[in-house]
Amino acid sequence: MKVIPSCFILVLHFLISSSKTNNPEKKKMSKEQTFIASIDQGTTSTRFFIYDKSARIIGSHHVEFTQFYPEAGWVEHDPMEILESVRSCMTKALDKATADGYNVDSGLKAIGLTNQRETVVVWSKSTGSPLYNAIVWMDVRTSSICRKLEKELPGGRTHFVESCGLPLSTYFSAVKLLWLMENKEEVRAAIKKGDALFGTIDTWLIWNLTGGVNGGIHVTDVSNASRTMLMNLKTLDWDKETLKTLGIPAEILPKIVSNAEVIGKIAKGWPLFGVPVAGCLGDQHAAMVGQACRRGEAKCTYGTGAFILLNTGTAPVKSTHGLLTTLAFKLGPKAQTNYALEGSIAIAGAAVQWLRDSLGIISSASEIESLASKVDCTGGVYFVPAFNGLFAPWWRDDARGICIGITRFTSKSHIARAVLESMCFQVKDVLDSMHKDAGEKGEVKNEKGEFLLRVDGGATVNNLLMQIQADLLGSSVVRPADIETTALGAAYAAGMAVGVWKEEELFALGQNIKTASIFSPKSSVEWRKKKVDSWCKAVERTFGLADLEM
């Protein structure tokens, strides 16, 4: 056996050490000292992302959490489980980034937050414990409250539209709070004692992140507040007349802040202690920032539901075609307020989960693309996922899901393709209404005279879904390189608040078409018209199928 001389071993050790030291990527990683993070608390999962100054993800983690369905049409979350999911994601994303050589502890400048909207929590100010599970945005237990108010108030379901831009619907936070006040003694007692705090998920998280019972900050941002039905769109404050009409005490409501400002610092007991929480937006508003949607530009986020927002500029545009007038974003206390028209779709990706979890047609969500690709059409099958009613532009809480056009020829591939088509049909319904409301002045077209739809969200990795969407719209669909634009938008807002980015830098980063995938329509006008006519007939058959006595 030959013995290697020690001098050779020393030379070899020197060469290996030098190659590590001279690796430009390692140098870059060790020198990078500016990071921004974001919490993305969604309907079915929580995520935490850490970005460098070029908005590249250098660490992330996600955790799914439990969905509770106590009764038909009811959907709840455990607020404490959501808190734990945030803690877990922060810890593990930080560990991953650190393992890759990034010194996040010293370089993290701020954390942004984005969240599922309209989901509500009421908790004890003294103990920090929730007084009931969080009632989720898609929950329809408040149908009877909405119908009662429609009968009692002048203008019916449009009574509050002038102040908040929203119709009376089970969708919005205020009626969920009314249900808790009417049906839960713990909530009534806590309000009477002055011990109750109310908020959407952003408020719940920020209060806990900044200290909880030990000085937690009770705030919400203008975008989440705009979805409660309680905020006046012009004053950006709680509307006193609305509170009086509904009997909601102002003292349980959080302070309203802008989307990009330092709110407070992470408290002891949490990872990243002392880092400022400096940005907060509802998920769809964050996606608008992440997609850099200027006036006249629209985006659609495909998640559990699907949400299309069109930036209408610095003045609210009233819808006459079944859409919502809402706030887009306000990137700083002194920044101009941007407004939007929105069409909300309750069930998009959730229909794929239903195929997986309830029917067992697929074993993972990603399988639907290959299954649906086995056929070139649905074979006349139409699926309308009105599981908990229909949102924009129909607004029918009495609708329930149907699958029609089934023959002996129908296979699970046809049904899978019909599920994908159902998402795209719903998006087209909303965009058609949006074009009517906004008119030509509200649209930005490319050199071909097309209206570009920017898309994001987990479902957009499905190329077949994106092509179907382009074919049904008759216009191009633009998918960015980073489809997690909701988390990115929250990071952008936080970075702006602490001076890491300026607004123009964000719009340059967010509108990088060169790195995007563009899906162009291949369908004929005749095909599109025939499909849409059949879809509308299917939608009409869902009306009145619900048992509204709940």
What confidence tens digit (pLDDT) does each residue in 254-276 have? 999 999 999 999 999 999 999 99
In this prediction, residue 457 has a pLDDT band, given cuts at 50, 70 and 90, of: confident
Of the listed ranges 5-19, 255-269, 276-290, 325-339, the one predicted with least confidence? 5-19
pLDDT given for residue 196 in this prediction = 97
- pLDDT number for residue 7: 41
Tell me the C-alpha to C-alpha distance, in Å, between residue 35 and each of 183, 199, 258, 535.
Answer: 45, 29, 22, 47
How confident is the model over 437-450, as pLDDT tens digits? 876 555 555 555 66
**How many whole angstroms separate alpha carbon 388 and alpha carbon 396?**
9
Same CATH topology for 33-282 and 349-428+530-540: the answer is yes
Q: Average pLDDT over the chain, rounded to whole?
A: 88
Q: Do you know the residue count of the chain?
A: 550
What number is the average pLDDT over the span 240-248?
95
Work out the pLDDT band at 298, boundaries 50, 70, 90.
confident
Residues β-bridged to residue 403: 383
| Residue 532 clears pLDDT 70, i.e. is over it | yes
- The HSE-up count of residue 539 (CA atoms within 13 Å, CB side) is 20
Task: Report which listed range, 229-243, 284-298, 357-371, is most confident.
Answer: 229-243
E strands, 21-66, where? 35-41, 45-52, 57-64
Residue 444 confidence (pLDDT)? 57
Residue identified by tokens 């250098």 is 58
Domain 349-428+530-540 CATH (choose: 3.90.1200.10, 1.20.120.530, 3.30.420.40, 2.60.320.10)? 3.30.420.40
Helix, strand, coil share of the chain (percent; to 5)? 40, 20, 40
pLDDT at 157 over 90: no
- Backbone phi and psi for residue 249, each to the nearest 5 degrees, phi listed first: -70, 130
Q: Which pLDDT band holds residue 344 (cuts at 50, 70, 90)? A: confident
The answer to whether the CB of 540 falls within 8 A of the CB of 394 is no
Residue percentage of the chain with pLDDT more than 90: 65
pLDDT number for residue 159: 92
> Can you give the pLDDT at residue 25?
43
CA nearest to 457, candidates 437, 496, 427: 427
Q: What is the pLDDT of residue 155?
A: 87
The two structure tokens encoding residue 415: 């049904």
Quick check: 230 and 242 in contact, CB under 8 A? Answer: yes
Strand partners for 60: 49
At residue 134 the predicted structure's pLDDT band, cuts being 50, 70 and 90, is very high
* Mean pLDDT on 526-535: 94
pLDDT > 70 in the chain, percent: 89
Preceding omega of 521 cis (within 30 degrees of 0)? no
Residue spans per domain, the chain: 33-282, 349-428+530-540
Enter the pTM of the model: 0.83
- Dihedrals phi, psi of 284, to nearest 5 degrees: -70, -30
Residue 17 has pLDDT above 50, yes or no: no
Contact between 143 and 548 (Cβ < 8 Å): yes
Q: Among 380, 373, 371, which residue's Cα sits nearest to residue 412?
A: 371
Topology (CATH level 3) of domain 33-282: Nucleotidyltransferase; domain 5 (3.30.420)
